[in-house]
Amino acid sequence: MTIQRRSNPKAPDANGIEKKIKRGNALRQASAWRGSRVPLLVLLAGLVVCAAAAWLVLASRDAEITETLAGKGELVAPEPRVFSVPCSEDYDNHQRYPGCTPLKCGRAVTDAVVTREEAQMLRRLAERGLSLAGSEGGASILDLHSGALSMGKQFVNIYRYFGEQIGEVFTQEDFQLYSDVRARIQAVVAETFGLDPALMFLTKPTFFSRINSTVAQTQHDEYWHPHIDKVTYGSFDYTSLLYLSDYGSDFGGGRFIFMDASGNRTVEPRTGRVSFFSSGSENLHRVEQVTWGTRFAITVSFTCDPAHAITDPALP
């Protein structure tokens, strides 16, 4: 007897099962894409933001310095390298002193006034003095005229605080070298700007500075802000800096930057190099933050007003 089997219309055939499986896989893949699309888009957005930020950083670095007025590897001698700029109106708000008040403004650099050996001797003088104390932040000051010395977050008078011990730190020869160097700097500033050196006077503050990458603890440590010396100090008519260490080998960062409307221009410190300029707003400037090592320099400032004159320092 032959038994006939009837087909079950509710049972799916093989082709139908395969189609359902494929459709299910497709739905699962679509769901997986929808689930992963949000974090992927966030990742892509993050990459775009990072790329844009990197571009802005690079662009800002490119725009930071438009011209190097004197590189560390150059020897600017025998004549100063002079860059003239128009005088600002600042001087109209102050009493004028014929033969001294700036009629010709600008900035200049020379490596022919102070020898490298003399600068190294002055650096050792600064190191001895600053070894007695120092700031908790990145900038420490030693002023041989007033005796001001950074100590923690304040200043002390080095001559009073250390008393007779000072004779073991400084010598008469140190102070004589300091005075000789000051006189030479005054002479080159006067000659460059067409002044009568007898009508220029040393003024305060005139000081050694030691700057490193230590985090700032006080406003005094934030040396990198743009400023105008005539506004900040009042008595300044001419500012000079004698560098006692080398950019790129003794320290990183720490370049002196003139901030002009047409771009920023820098002087790279070199041991024995003197940079000087008229102190008005024609020479808005700042110092780059030091990123490593230690930068030593002396700021020597001059006034045309005899009421603000100071004398060379001397041992007590």
For residue 49, the SS3 value is: helix
Token pair for residue 102? Answer: 């700036």
Residue whose pair of structure tokens reads 């070894």 in the numeric block: 131
* Strands (E) located in 231-278: 238-243, 251-253, 256-260, 263-267, 274-278
Tell me the catalytic residues. 295
- The Cα-based distances of 98 to 34, 95, 103 in angstroms read 80, 10, 9
Nearest to 138 by CA among 243, 206, 204, 209: 209
Report residue 139: phi and psi, to 5°.
-120, 125
The whole-angstrom distance between residue 9's C-alpha and the CA centroid of its chain comes to 88
Nearest to 239 by CA among 225, 224, 253, 227: 227
- The Cα-based distances of 210 to 23, 92, 273, 295 in angstroms read 75, 35, 16, 6
* Residue 292 near residue 187, CB atoms below 8 Å: no
